[in-house]
Amino acid sequence: MNTVWLIPALACYALSAAGFAMERAGLHGRFARWAVLLLGGGALLQTGDLLMRGIQAGNVPVTNFAQALVFLAWLTALAGLVVIVHLRMPVIGVYVAPIVFIVVTLQAATMRQTRLTMPQSLRSAWLPVHVTLALLGYALFVLAAGVSLVYLVYEKRLKAKRPLRPTDERTPSLEKLDRINYRLLGWGFLMLSLAIVTGSIWADATWGRFWSWEPAESWTLIIWFLYAGLLESRLTVGWRGRRAAALTIAVFTVLVGSFVGVSLMAPGKHGGNFG
Q: What is the DSSP letter of 147?
A: H
On whether the CB atoms of residues 214 and 269 are closer than 8 A, the answer is yes
On whether the CB atoms of residues 136 and 75 are closer than 8 A, the answer is yes
Residue 158 sits in the site that holds another protein (CB under 8 A): yes
Instruction: Tally DSSP H helices, then E strands, for the chain.
Output: 8, 0
On whether the CB atoms of residues 196 and 49 are closer than 8 A, the answer is no
One residue of 41, 105, 149, 179 binding another protein per CB under 8 A: 179
Tell which positions 229-258 bind another protein, by CB under 8 A: 237-243
Least distance CB 155 / another protein (angstroms): 9
Q: Torsion angle, CA of 227/228/230/236, rounded to 10 degrees? A: 170
Measured CA to CA in angstroms, residue 78 lies from 69, 87, 97, 196 at distances of: 14, 13, 11, 22
Residue 172 sits in the site that holds another protein (CB under 8 A): yes
- Of 33 and 165, nearer to another protein (C-beta) is 165
Least distance CB 26 / another protein (angstroms): 9
Residue 86 sits in the site that holds another protein (CB under 8 A): no
Least distance CB 173 / another protein (angstroms): 5
| Binding flags for another protein, 90-129, as an x/- string (CB under 8 A) | ----------------------------------------
Give the footprint of another protein on this chain (CB under 8 A).
Answer: 154, 158-159, 161-166, 168-169, 171-176, 179, 237-243
